[in-house]
C-alpha cells in the first residue's frame, strides 16, 4: 500500500487531498491539530491521525517522528497547511510576519527534512501547496506573499538537489478556492464595502477569466497526479497554477 502524509488534512483543500488519496487506496497520515477534526476520514480508508501544529517546531518534529514510527518509507508528502493574513503593510506587525513564515515556510522545510530518508527510500514525491500569491503580488498581503514566494523558492531548490535521488518536488498554486479562506474574505469585503455576501463573492470570482472559484477537489486531483508513477515521475521543480486563468 502506498503512503502519503498530508498536513492540514482536516478541512478545505487538505481534506479534499486526503479524500482523493484514500479513494485511490493509499494510507494517509493526516497531520492535523486534533483527531476530532478528521471527521469521517477514517471511514473512507486507512486514515491515521498524527498530531500537528505547524506553528510549533517541536510539534512538527514530533509529527515527523510519529510518521516514521509507523513506516520507514513514504511515497508522498503534501505540505498543505497554511495561514493567510490581510492587512496593510504599515499595520502588519513583525509577529504577524514571523507567524506566517513559521507556518507557511518553516514547517514544510522542517517536515520535509525530517521525512527525507523515508521519501528517498521510496523515491517519493513532495508537493507543496503554494498559491497564486507565490507568483504575483497582491496588495494588503505582503507577509502572505513573502511566505508563499519563499515556499516556491524552497520547492525549486529542493527539486534540483533531490533529482539525483529520484525524489520529485513540485508546487501547486491555487487561485481563489471555495474554502473557509474564501468565505472569510467574502465576509471581510462585504463588511468593508457595504455589499452583500453574494456581491462580494462575485467580485472575487470576477478576478479570473472563468468567473468562478476553484473547487478543492480540482486541486486534490492535481496533487494526486503529481504523486503518481506515470508522467509525473519526470516532473520536478514545476509550479502548477490552478486558478481559472487568473495569472494568464
**Phi, psi of 59, deg, nearest 5:** -70, -35
Cα gap 153→159, rounded to integer Å: 10
Does residue 84 contact residue 129 with C-beta atoms inside 8 Å?
Answer: no
Q: Give the closest residue to 46 by CA, choosing from 63, 25, 31.
A: 25
Q: Would residue 144 show up in a list of annotated catalytic residues for this protein?
A: yes
Question: What secondary structure letter does DSSP report for 56?
Answer: -
CA 220 to chain centre: 10
Cα gap 73→117, rounded to integer Å: 8
Catalytic residue among 21, 144, 176, 240: 144
Does residue 242 contact residue 127 with C-beta atoms inside 8 Å?
Answer: no
Cβ neighbours, 10 Å, residue 51: 13
Active site residues: 144
Amino acid at each position: 500500500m502506498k503512503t502519503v502524509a498530508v498536513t492540514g488534512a482536516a478541512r478545505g483543500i487538505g481534506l479534499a487531498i486526503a479524500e482523493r488519496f484514500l479513494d485511490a487506496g493509499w494510507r494517509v497520515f493526516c497531520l492535523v491539530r486534533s483527531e476530532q477534526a478528521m471527521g469521517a476520514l477514517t471511514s473512507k480508508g486507512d486514515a491515521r491521525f498524527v498530531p500537528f501544529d505547524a506553528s510549533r517546531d517541536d510539534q512538527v518534529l514530533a509529527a515527523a517522528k510519529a510518521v516514521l514510527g509507523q513506516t520507514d518509507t513514504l511515497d508522498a508528502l503534501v505540505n498543505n497547511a497554511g495561514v493567510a493574513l490581510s492587512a496593510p503593510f504599515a499595520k502588519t506587525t513583525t509577529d504577524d510576519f514571523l507567524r506566517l513564515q513559521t507556518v507557511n515556510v518553516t514547517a514544510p522545510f522542517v517536515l520535509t527534512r525530517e521525512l527525507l530518508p523515508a521519501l528517498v527510500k521510496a523515491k517519493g514525491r513532495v508537493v507543496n501547496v503554494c498559491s497564486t500569491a507565490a507568483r504575483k503580488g497582491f496588495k494588503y498581503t505582503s507577509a502572505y506573499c513573502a511566505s508563499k514566494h519563499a515556499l516556491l523558492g524552497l520547492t525549486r531548490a529542493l527539486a534540483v538537489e533531490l533529482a539525483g535521488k529520484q525524489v520529485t518536488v513540485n508546487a501547486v498554486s491555487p487561485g481563489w478556492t471555495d474554502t473557509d479562506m474564501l468565505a472569510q474574505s467574502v465576509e471581510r469585503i462585504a463588511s468593508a464595502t457595504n455589499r452583500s455576501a453574494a456581491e462580494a463573492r462575485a467580485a472575487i470570482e470576477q478576478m479570473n477569466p472563468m468567473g468562478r472559484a476553484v473547487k478543492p477537489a480540482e486541486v486534490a486531483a492535481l496533487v494526486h497526479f503529481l504523486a503518481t508513477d506515470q508522467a509525473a515521475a519526470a516532473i520536478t521543480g514545476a509550479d502548477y497554477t490552478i486558478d481559472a486563468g487568473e495569472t494568464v
